[in-house]
């Protein structure tokens, strides 16, 4: 029931062919590349990897391929949307090698106020599958939910729940959540940790108390983020801040409005870096404009990932 989540956990992209089908050859190449950049684990079939747009069979195959190409633990996204289906997903992902599960918010959470018994029973049922569970607090603007403190405490108390990915994109809410978590016995016993999902303040999340980062931006500039985390933990504050400024500069471009384009921006950036051959996304997702591509190229040069001569 244990998996090391204390570090960078990139939510990986899923390369697609022009017709929108997963490109297995490119996926293998990408997984090998990202695994060599210093992450502690990989997150598979989550939002960055277009998980909500995949069939269950596709998700299973993607996870199989990733497990064949990396020694790293894999966190698989579970999205329900109802309890029996979530349990089936969890069993199936476990059967092909998932090491932990990221529990996506589901439509049943969207009532206000939310009855805590709804997420509590849902998570309890999935926990019985026997894999470590990562809770997921996500801002409503991205289809998620911000749990109230009492609901979070009950969810954290479930056996098998080992972490919370906090992705409210709100520094004040994030800090309040960290402080609440740090008051719990389960946190002090080492059975529970905080993960940031806030791509808009990555280094600052560690300054405010997280132990790891499960983020879409980890799919690119991966080595620099792993180095940044190591520098912060080693007390090399100036180095961490220098890396953090570079990392955040590109992250702010990738996650600019409209944020739904971030997957295409990540893929375009990976193409520019020579990691992928193409940047196709699955419809109804859209490619980005030439103007956005130019801005992305210029930012890659600014943060030192591309040379000036590679702009054209």
pLDDT digits (tens, 9 = 90+) for 59-80: 999 999 999 999 999 999 999 9
pLDDT tens column, 215-256: 999 999 999 999 999 999 999 999 999 999 999 999 999 999
Is 117 within a domain? Answer: yes
Among candidate residues 169, 204, 162, 208, the one with its CA nearest the CA of residue 6: 162
* β-strand partners of 100: 75
Is 59 within a domain? Answer: yes
pLDDT tens column, 104-114: 999 999 888 99
Counted domains in the chain:
1
Report d(CA 15, CA 241) in Å as an integer: 32
Domain extent, residue 143, equals 8-234
pTM of the model: 0.96
pLDDT tens column, 153-189: 999 999 999 999 999 999 999 999 999 999 999 999 9
Is 309 within a domain? Answer: no
- Number of neighbours of residue 85 by Cβ within 10 angstroms: 14
Query: CB neighbours of 258 closer than 8 A, spacing ≥ 6?
Result: none
Report d(CA 48, CA 13) in Å as an integer: 5
Is 44 within a domain? Answer: yes
H helix and E strand count, the chain = 12, 8
DSSP-based three-state secondary structure for 215: strand
Tokens found for residue 209: 């108390």
Q: For the chain, give the mean pLDDT.
A: 96
Read off the pLDDT band of 143 (50, 70, 90).
confident
Is 90 within a domain? Answer: yes
CATH of the domain at 110: 3.20.20.70
Is 216 within a domain? Answer: yes
Is 49 within a domain? Answer: yes
Q: Could you please report the per-residue DSSP string of 221-279?
A: SHHHHHHHHHHHHTT-HHHHHHHHHHHHHHHHHHTPSSGGGHHHHHHHHHHHTTS-S--
pLDDT tens column, 76-112: 999 999 999 999 999 999 999 999 999 999 999 988 8
User: Over 70: is that where the pLDDT of 310 sits?
Assistant: no
Is 254 within a domain? Answer: no
| pLDDT value of position 312 | 42
Q: Phi/psi class of residue 278: alpha, beta or left (left: φ > 0; alpha: ψ in -120 to 50)?
A: beta
Tokens found for residue 76: 């698989």
């Amino acid at each position: 029931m244990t998996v090391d989540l204390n570090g960078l956990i990139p939510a990986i992209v899923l390369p697609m062919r022009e017709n929108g089908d997963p490109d297995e050859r490119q996926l293998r190449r990408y997984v090998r590349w990202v695994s060599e950049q210093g992450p502690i684990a990989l997150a598979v079939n989550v939002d960055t990897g277009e998980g909500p747009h995949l069939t269950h069979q596709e998700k299973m195959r993607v996870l199989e391929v990733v497990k064949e190409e990396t020694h790293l633990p894999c966190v698989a996204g579970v999205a329900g949307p109802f309890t029996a289906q979530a349990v089936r997903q969890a069993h199936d992902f476990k059967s092909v090698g998932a090491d932990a599960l990221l529990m996506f918010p589901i439509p049943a959470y969207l009532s206000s106020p939310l009855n805590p018994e709804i997420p509590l029973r849902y998570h309890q049922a999935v926990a019985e599958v026997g894999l470590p569970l990562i809770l997921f607090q996500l801002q409503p603007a991205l289809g998620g939910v911000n749990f109230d403190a009492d609901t979070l405490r009950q969810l954290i108390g479930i056996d098998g729940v080992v972490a919370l990915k906090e992705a409210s994109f709100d520094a004040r809410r994030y800090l309040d959540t960290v402080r609440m978590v740090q008051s719990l016995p389960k946190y002090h016993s080492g059975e529970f940790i905080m993960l940031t999902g806030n791509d808009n303040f990555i280094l600052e999340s560690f300054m405010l108390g997280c132990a790891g980062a499960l983020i879409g931006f980890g799919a690119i500039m991966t080595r620099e983020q792993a180095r940044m985390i190591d520098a912060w933990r080693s007390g090399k504050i100036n180095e961490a801040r220098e890396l953090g400024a570079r990392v955040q500069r590109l992250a702010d471009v990738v996650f600019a409005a409209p944020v739904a384009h971030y997957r295409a921006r990540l893929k375009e950036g990976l193409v520019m870096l020579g990691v992928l051959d193409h940047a196709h996304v699955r419809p109804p997702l859209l490619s980005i404009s030439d103007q956005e591509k130019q801005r992305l190229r210029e930012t890659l040069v600014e943060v030192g990932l591309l040379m000036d001569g590679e702009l054209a």
